[in-house]
A and B are shown apart, each in its own frame.
Chain A
Amino acid sequence: MTERNNHYAHKIVAIVPVFNEAACVEAVIREVDKSIPGVEVVVIDDGSTDNSAQVAQAAQASVIILPYNLGIGGAVQTGYLFASEMEYDFAVRLDGDGQHNPTQLSALLDPLILGQADVIVGSRYLQGRKFRVSWSRSIGVKVFAAMVSLITGQRFTDTTSGFQAANRAAVQFLAQHLPSDYPEIEGLVLLCRAGFRVKEVPVTMRPRVAGQSSITLFRSVYYVFKVSLALLIGLLQPPPKRIYHDGPR
């Protein structure tokens, strides 16, 4: 890259789904603001029972309050609907718990701005990046990566990463078709099948600040089973067609 990309020239929205994330969401909003000048942060409050929405509002984010908990897929899709209807050029998506480091957002956005891809996924495991996980979890990671790579014919390393960026065409597609159950992994397959160019870039994620990961061996085996089934069922369905409403440039 010879020249620095000017983020000011594009309308960029950052989608932050939150569910009872009052302790972390403010810091996330501030960091995103600092990392991408002129970004619009839209927080999707997925039926939180704490004051996440008020905290986000006080931090100058646009807050969409869902009437009840839709789960991560439904919440993120609301963000894509917002981005699509408000005609943003690019949308980035990051978790409200601070796991995704906003300083790495330009690594996700730059290839999109240069037109090298339609969707960029931040991968924890690409190019020898070390992210400590329990071995029960690492089996799941490898199984999913192998399955998605097999189905799409393209190598993927981190299929459950919610640290992503998408251009307008992909945003419009995801606003209509983002799967509800396992949005990251099923979404990757769907995007590839619909002909979008999806690329991974290496990122480092921070360990979760609060809360305990609930993954045990039994749960991860069961999870792998459920997701595999969902992927296979998804393959029975014809891939949705990509639509293009190219707005004014």
Chain B
Amino acid sequence: MARVELVAILGSLTLLVSILELVRRKQLGAGYALLWLLTALALLILSMWRDLLDVLAHLVGIFYPPTALFVVGFGFLLIILLQFSVVISRLSQENKKLAQRIGLLDWKLRQIHSDETAETQPNAEQDAI
């Protein structure tokens, strides 16, 4: 087994175990774990199954097969990054709406509060009498 294969297998195994551990500790949500698991599994399979990597490299015209591993990893990372951008866009949109709603509710609350104090003020005077 070439050194490069060993390094690739160890690397993708570490990634896979880390992801599983993060999911187990509930630090990585299922929605994100899926893409990461696919990435780690693809890298692991391609590092262990040299023939498949060779076929893949040959198909896309890559002369040094381990480079194909980088290409596959890069492809998956791009997809993950795109997913992040989508999620961030949604979060900032929701965040804006939340802030606007808080502002409006806060105004309403102060409105109700000032109405109440305006109502209770005369009563307080009556009680005093």
Q: Which residues of A contact B (CB under 8 A)?
A: 44, 62-68, 70, 74, 77-78, 81-82, 85, 180
Contact = CB atoms under 8 A, between A and B. Distances in A.
10 contacts: A63-B107, A64-B103, A66-B100, A66-B102, A67-B99, A67-B102, A70-B99, A77-B100, A78-B103, A85-B104
Contacts of A81: 100, 104
A235 to B, nearest CB: 18
Grouping DSSP codes into helix (H, G, I), strand (E, B) and loop, the B interface class, with mixed when no group exceeds half, is helix
A44 B106 CA distance: 12
Kindly list the 3 A-B residue pairs having the minimum CB-CB distance in the complex, ordered from nearest.
Answer: A64-B103, A78-B100, A66-B103
Contacts of B102: 66-67
A64 B104 contact: yes
Nearest to B92: A180
Interface string B90-104: 000000100110111
A225 to B, nearest CB: 20
A62 B104 contact: no
B104 A68 contact: no
A65 B100 CA distance: 9
Nearest to B107: A64
B99 A74 contact: yes
A82 B104 contact: yes
Nearest to B93: A180
A70 B107 CA distance: 17
A63 B103 CA distance: 9
A82 B108 CA distance: 10
Contacts of A67: 99, 102-103
B99 A68 contact: yes
A74 B93 CA distance: 10
Contact of B100 (A62, A63, A74): A74
A63 B107 CA distance: 7
A81 B101 CA distance: 9
A65 B96 contact: no
A62 B103 CA distance: 12
Nearest to A74: B96
Contacts of A77: 100
A180 B103 contact: no
Given A65-B103, A66-B99, 11 more contacts: A62-B107, A65-B106, A66-B100, A66-B102, A68-B99, A74-B96, A78-B104, A81-B104, A82-B104, A82-B107, A180-B96
Nearest to A63: B107
A70 B104 contact: no
